Amino acid sequence: MKTTILIHCPDQAGIINAVTYFIHSKNGNIIYLDQHVDKEAGVFFMRLESDFDNPDFSIDDFKNKFGKSLAEKYQMKWSVYSSGVKPKMALFVSKYNHCLYDLLSRFNSGELDVEIPFIISNHKDLQYIAEQFNIPFHYIPVTKETKTDAENQQLHLLKKYSIDCIVLARYMQIVTSKIIDSYPNKIINIHHSFLPAFAGAKPYHAAFQRGVKIIGATCHYVTEELDAGPIIEQDVTTVSHSHSIKDFIAKGRDLEKIVLSRGVKLHLQRKTMVYNNKTVIFS
């Protein structure tokens, strides 16, 4: 059985040795180890993939012993994932289809190791894509007055299907703390600018107005403050005076879908850790 362990704890000497010794003593073979120390914050981060071949290996027993013999001693925040358990991911969309198409075509090709129990949208425009890909589509309109009701409906679905993480694939609504608090560092958004430049609405218009020579897209975890959560992935493309706002938007679509998909993959592969509103991304 393959397991992935993510750890962070106050930095001190001997942690790597202690963890690798523990894995070794349980007859595990470390097939990947990466580590990082945030020297300013004094925090140690680690990601390990290990193989446990012996037939009587028990993940619960392993967790139990890891917790007692290591995690307490080093004050670790940690999590262990065993291969074979697929996370459940919900998609939130509005009217733009490029990110949805990109995620679903990857999903259909087996590129994303995940279950997608449903798609939620505040508009019916993309229902046809959900049908193309045979994924349940829930139309939950949102107005100022119905916002609370809508979020309750969303939460109900999220709980009902035991959703692990949410992807806002150009969902044009602000998600409130009601949902964020239940999914800390588990809601992934794509913002159509090179954050922190041009946070908020209409970033391509603002970029055009400023006369920048490069535009970007940013995939980040959603926090209460708009467009200010931990950044997972960014990419950019060049523009010139000859490009109109419409051209910015067209070039941006390609960036958005690729950057969002990269961010989603990193999250699903347990390669992201969050600390101090920043991410550690293991490659």
The residues assigned a catalytic role are 227
Residue 108 interacts with a copy of itself (CB under 8 A): yes or no: yes
By the 8 A CB rule, do 47 and 33 touch?
yes
The residue range among 54-62, 102-110, 175-183, 184-192 that interacts with a copy of itself, by the rule CB under 8 A, is 102-110
* CA-based nearest residue to 276, from 77, 108, 100: 77
Distance, in Å, from the CA atom of 188 to the CA atom of 109, rounded to the nearest integer, reads 21
Residue 235 interacts with a copy of itself (CB under 8 A): yes or no: yes
Residue 125 interacts with a copy of itself (CB under 8 A): yes or no: no
Q: How many residues make contact with a copy of itself (CB under 8 A)?
A: 62
The residue range among 76-84, 104-112, 113-121, 178-186 that interacts with a copy of itself, by the rule CB under 8 A, is 104-112
**Ranges within 140-159 binding a copy of itself (CB under 8 A):** none
Q: Degrees (nearest 5) of the Cα angle 210, 212, 213?
A: 160
Shortest spacing between CB 144 and a copy of itself, in angstroms: 29
Residue 283 interacts with a copy of itself (CB under 8 A): yes or no: yes
Token pair of 268, please? 């699903």
Shortest spacing between CB 160 and a copy of itself, in angstroms: 28
- A 10 A CB-CB count for 188 gives 26
With DSSP H G I counted as helix, E B as strand and the rest as coil, what are the percentages for the chain, rounded to 5? 35, 30, 40
Q: Is 26 left (phi over 0), alpha (psi -120 to 50) or beta?
A: alpha
* CA-based nearest residue to 152, from 188, 189, 117, 120: 120
Out of 194, 204, 222, 252, point to the residue binding a copy of itself (CB under 8 A): 194
Name the residues that contact a copy of itself, by CB under 8 A.
13-14, 16-17, 20-21, 23-24, 29-39, 97-98, 101-102, 105, 108-109, 111, 132-133, 194-198, 210-214, 216, 230-236, 240-242, 244, 250, 253-254, 258, 261, 277-281, 283
